[in-house]
Structure 1
Amino acid sequence: MSGFQRITAGDAKALMEAGKINIADIRDAMSFGAGHISGAARVDNDNLAEFLSGCDKADPLLVCCYHGNSSQGAAQFFAGQGYEKVYSLDGGYELWKLAFPDLTER
């Protein structure tokens, strides 16, 4: 896969249910602490190298931000780092928490 693919919250949920997936939440620490997708890791410049070395690049990677805009640039970056399947969550966490409140952590 070259680049990344934008997907809906429903498609992202299906990916999660299908098996192993890495989720990178690129929002700030305070927002992440207030709520995030279950199983997500908060990724920023301070822990990027650790995240990159700790993920199997063959597993799908879902990138999440607030509304689905910033995640597109981050998804393109991750695709350039060798991840085989990279997805940007359309609507971001704000849409996710409305669609799937049972799949969020606080």
Structure 2
Amino acid sequence: MNLEELLAFAGRNQIMSLAFVGLTVAIIATEIARLFRGYKPLRPAELTALINRENALVVDMSASGDFEKGHIAGSRNVAPSQFDPESKLIAAAKSLPVVLVCRNGQVSAGAAKRLKKAGFEQVYWLDGGVAAWQQADLPLVKGR
């Protein structure tokens, strides 16, 4: 296929061509925004290494009942409604790696954005949440 054939195809299929260009631009914009947002997703194995290597603070944003059913060892429970970057627990770790965790990764991603805006240097969130942790066959601790 040469350039002339490609241009002829685009001319015959204008809607499909515009859709392709629009999707391509959207994907590129999303990826560029992801690179510069300042907080990063972690996979379970990366979280384990960060905890062991840099003594990361793991903040679990699950509801109290879900936290008691199973959480990552050493994590601290903070309900989303009580999440505040200025709280004693979180503010003390401003220069340490802070990893936010929830059940599926959605709530923790939003909280990571708040921490970064509050001036935290190393902010992460567990992509896929506790569900991803379990799928990786990593252990959970029950109780408080």
Both proteins in one fold, TM over 0.5: yes
User: What is the TM-score normalised by the length of structure 2?
Assistant: 0.65
Matched residue of 1:36: which SS?
coil
Q: Which ranges of structure 1 fall in alignment gaps of 5 or more residues?
A: none
Residue 88 of structure 1, CA deviation: 0.9
Whichever residue aligns with residue 12 of structure 1, its letter is L
Q: Which ranges of structure 2 fall in alignment gaps of 5 or more residues?
A: 1-35
Residue 2 of structure 1, CA deviation: 5.6
Cα deviation 1:23-64 (Å, max 9, x = unaligned): 1111100000111011101112346423234x3211100000
Structure having greater relative contact order (Cα 8 Å, sep ≥ 6):
1
Residue of structure 2 in register with 1:81 after alignment: 118
2:141 is the counterpart of 1:105: yes
Contact 1:43 1:51 in 2 (8 A): no
Equivalenced residues, count: 104
Residue 70 of structure 1, CA deviation: 1.5
User: What is the TM-score normalised by the length of structure 1?
Assistant: 0.85
The structure whose residues are more often strand, as a share, is 1
Contact 1:59 1:85 in 2 (8 A): yes
- RMSD over aligned Cα, in angstroms? 1.9
Matched residue of 2:41: which SS?
strand
Residue of structure 1 in register with 2:52 after alignment: 17
The structure whose residues are more often helix, as a share, is 2
Contact 2:54 2:97 in 1 (8 A): no
Measure the CA separation in 1 of the matches of 2:59 and 2:50. 14
Cα deviation 1:47-100 (Å, max 9, x = unaligned): 6423234x3211100000111111110111111222110001011011213324
Residue of structure 2 in register with 1:59 after alignment: 96
2:98 is the counterpart of 1:90: no
Residue of structure 2 in register with 1:41 after alignment: 76
Whichever residue aligns with residue 105 of structure 1, its letter is V
Give the percent of matched residue pairs that are identical in Structure 1 and Structure 2. 27
Contact 1:3 1:80 in 2 (8 A): no
Measure the CA separation in 2 of the matches of 1:42 and 1:86. 17
